[in-house]
Structure 1
Amino acid sequence: MFKQYYKQVIQLWKSNPLFSAISVLATALTITFVMVLYMVYAFRTTDMEPEINRSRTLYSDLGYSYLTKGRSQANSGMSYTAAKNIFDNLEHAETVSYFMAKGEGVGFVGTSRANFEKKIVSPVDDNYFRVFSYDFIAGAPFTPEQADAARREAIITDKVAMQFFNTTDVIGKNIMIGFTDYKITGVVRSVSSLFNKAYSDVWIVVDKTAMDWAPDRSEGLVGNCLVAVVAKKGSSLKALEKEIDENITAFNHNLREFTFEQAVHTQAQSNFFQESNTNPARIFIILMLILLIVPAINMSGLLSTQIKKRSAEIGIRKAYGASNMQIGGQLLFENLLLTLIGGIIGLLLSITVVLLFKNALLGDIMTVNVMENFHLPLSAFFRPLLFVFAFLFCLIVNLLSAIIPVWNASRTTIIETIKGE
């Protein structure tokens, strides 16, 4: 029976090449759009090295303070002192890292004033290397002793080491950062700048006192401190965020004249939507459903038109004894095969699009070296099981869209089909 159906599908393609091409192309493009959308979201939110704690991490924004009376003397930025009051001793936190924005307070990187280049430099504490995971070629992450002493020590990437020293065996050597000498204590394997939270060329020990800009003004609230908080395993981000909000309320209660505001964001929110009440996953699911359902509705109308054109064929087959089930089975098999071919083409096309345009698709406005070609394994953003789920969903929707016109066609009497009704 299926062999006969297959022959009839081949004949259909030959007699209706435009309809067949439109059906396959519609499914392929639908799968492509849905898979690309999912790949972008998955790449930016799924736990993967070096950002291994994405699902458990909350990131602070810059912070904002103002004079409570009249909301005057507004300042952007959070001091280290204020951050410690808010983020220290959180019951639901496993790790808390205090650091500056990348490049803050530093200049160029090189071996001398005559041999330097602008690089991304990140002043961080020792806990930073518990939030993010790097492959150390030599040396080790900063220790609590290094962080407390605020030593002029640095960790560099293998690319920086090769550029300035022609070797990665550079532990103990000095490198000039912002025209100040730093001792190299570690070398890590470079990561793609598409990992914008973890990416850097150089990491230096942060001077925590330098993150307080004006301790004697605005009640010491202003600074350039950022915070990443990893929730304990078993604790939810909602519970951690609630605890942080309670600490902010208690902190403001002890301030004399100023009010401090601070928001925290998940990995998805910091990458896509800053509003704390926005659920990026829900928005992406809605977008994918729209991409799946709208083409299916259009295909249902196209399929109904095509079946009406085949009413004479259906009438002749009924006249020769074909049952309603046989008629309906053939039409559904045709739609199934066209969908299957379109799905395979869509899968190949989506992977090709992401691999060719990964920097533009996977990066954001914070991505540096956006034109640099980074090698990213397919496993970094593609999950076969999820493709199967998306494809099956698309297949089911397409089949559902075909059921009504197929049902109507199979239930039509011989007289009605011959008359073209």
Structure 2
Amino acid sequence: MIKLYFKQAFFQLRENRLISLVSIIGTALAICMIMVIVLVLEVRITDCVPEVNRSRSLYMKAMSIHQKGDTSDNSSNGCMSLTVAKECFKALTVPETVTIVSTGGRMRISVPAGKTMTVDNLETDDTFWKVFSFDFIAGKPFTAADSESGLPKVVISASVARNLFGTVEAVGRTVQLNLADYTVVGVVKDVSKLAVSSYAQIWIPFNSTEIARKCWYDNAMGTFRVVILAHSEKDFPAIREEVERLRQKFNDGLQDSEIFYRGQPDDRFSFIFRHWGRELQAKEAYLHYLLVIVILLLVPAINLSSMTLSRMRKRMSEIGVRKAFGATANVLLRQVFYENLLLTLIAGAVGMLFSYACTFLLNDFLFSNSENRAQIGETSLSADMLFSPWIFLAAFIFCLLLNLLSACIPAWRASRMNITDALNQR
């Protein structure tokens, strides 16, 4: 019986080709729009290599400092010094670990008497490799001893290794970073710029450069951020409480100024939407995003529902004929259901293909932001970033329900009408 329903549904699609095509494209575009919007957010928020621990990480993007007793909103805003990073975050006992990371920059890397290129770099510590999960092609990360001693060790990406040496087998070789000799200890797969907390093309210990000594304003402001890896999300409140205690302890040691974090450390969503020097209203950000999604769904959905309703009204006489030959209300409603299910299935498949095509073709437009615009690498997308069956399923079910409501209501009314009225489309 189901096979017969689908055959009849295909026949109806062929009989009304223009309306069917417009309905399919309209439903596909509705699904495509919602998926693109949500995929853009998902790529930036959900766990993906190398940021596989986003869901249990807290972030400190920036901090503020002002004079003690200042009740105005005047403050200096920016990254923290190494002193603050160590005393206020490395000293945490609740989380699994904490990594200190520079804000990133560029360096000239070269092979002695060989090729030279400019690369994006990060300066960090050994726990960086515990918070983030990189795919090592060769070698291994620099160790805690390397980091503490400031030994000139470097991890490079595969593309940098191929550019400089013609191969990824670069472990043990010497490169020059701003004319200083460094030994390659590891080679990793290239990282997408979408991994904003861990992206670089080379990674070195911050103790191997002068960056650790760059600080100002009571030795509190500097060029570092921190990422806190919790054992689980349940530990977030306890971590924030400990962060606040350490902040107050640090402020007690300052004579004229005090630091504050404006609601940080943040979970991943808040981290993405936070701007320096402002209080973040996370609920407003969520509502704003939800409103955009609802508008993108409702506008095409209403048009599709009107089209489906008009199509069903034109079929009143057909329903009357079928009813005259003994078709029950349940049979008629099942037929309408399978017709709309088939139409939405086709549109869903087309919409999903559209969404992935748009995401890839408009990659730079969708994912370019102030943090990665000036970086050299690629905003490449991997399968684990894009594959989200729940998003597609939610958009598909929403469109199916709207199409069913707009089709089943007039079909239900027609199935209960007098046969003569249905035949005359009254």
TM range (shorter): 0.7 to 0.9
Q: Distance in 2 between matches of 1:210 and 1:374?
A: 27
- Tell me which residue corresponds to 1:92: 94
Match in the other structure for 2:270: 269
CA distance in 1, matches of 2:345, 2:64: 54
Conserved 8 A contact 1:63-1:77: yes
Which residue among 296, 307, 310 is the counterpart of 2:312? 307
Give unpaired runs (5+ residues) of structure 2. none
Between the aligned partners of 1:129 and 1:109, the Cα distance in structure 2 is 22
Structure 2 partner of 1:186: 186
Segments of 5+ residues of structure 1 without an aligned counterpart are none
TM-score normalised by structure 2 residue count = 0.85
SS in 2 for 1:66: strand
Spell out the pairing of 1:375-386 with structure 2 (5 A cutoff): 376-384=381-389
Q: Give how far 1:226 is off.
A: 1.2
Deviations 1:398-421 (A, max 9, x none): 324433232222222223334433
Shift of 1:183: 2.5
The 5 Å alignment of 1:2-401 reads 2=2, 4-69=4-69, 74=76, 76-103=78-105, 107-112=107-112, 115-207=115-207, 210-214=211-215, 218-233=217-232, 235-262=234-261, 263-274=264-275, 276-278=280-282, 284=289, 287-367=292-372, 376-384=381-389, 387-388=392-393, 390-401=395-406
Which whole-Å CA distance do the structure 2 matches of 1:411 and 1:243 have between them? 67
Render the CA deviation track for 1:216-265: whole Å, top value 9, x for unaligned: x6332121121111112363434423432343244334432112122322
What CA deviation, in whole Å up to 9, does each residue of 1:172-225 have, x standing for no partner?
3321112222232222222223323222111111028743434xx633212112
Residue identity matched to 1:157: S
d(CA) in 2 for partners of 1:120, 1:309: 63
> C-alpha offsets along residues 313-354 of structure 1, whole Å, 9 cap, x if unaligned?
223333333332233232222222211221122223223333
| Structure 1 SS opposite 2:96 | strand
For residue 158 of structure 2, what is the amino acid of its counterpart?
D
Deviation of the 1:268 alpha carbon:
2.8
What secondary structure sits across from 1:220 in the alignment? coil
Letter in structure 2 aligned against 1:77: C
Letter in 2 for 1:80: L
2: distance between equivalents of 1:176 and 1:127?
24
Deviates more, 1:371-380 or 1:79-88: 371-380
| Aligned 8 A contact 2:174 2:182 in 1 | yes
**Local SS of the residue matching 1:93:** coil
Moved more, 303-312 or 367-376: 367-376
Using the TM superposition, give the Cα deviation of residue 146 of structure 1 relative to its aligned residue in structure 2, in angstroms.
1.2
Quick one: which amino acid aligns to residue 242 of structure 2? E
Q: CA 1:390–1:76 in 2, change beyond 3 Å: closer, same or farther?
A: closer
Give the distance between the partners of 1:7 and 1:98, measured in 2 at CA: 62
Paired residues of 2:62 and 2:77 also in contact (CA < 8 A): no
Asked if the contact 1:79/1:225 (under 8 Å) is kept, the reply is yes
Q: Is the 8 A contact 1:81 1:212 kept in 2?
A: no
Change (3 A) 1:137 1:311: closer
- Provide, for residues 357-403 of structure 1, a one-character-per-residue CA deviation record: whole Å limited to 9, x for no partner: 44443454433688977775434420346534543444344324433
Q: CA deviation at 1:96?
A: 0.7
Q: Deviation at 1:126?
A: 0.9
Distance 1:226 1:6, change over 3 A: closer
Q: Distance in 2 between matches of 1:213 and 1:137?
A: 34
Q: Distance in 2 between matches of 1:61 and 1:369?
A: 18
Residues 270-307 of structure 1, C-alpha deviations (whole Å, 9 max, x = no match):
33455644166676556445544544333332222222
Q: CA RMSD in A?
A: 3.1
Q: 2:410 aligns with which of 405, 409, 412?
A: 405
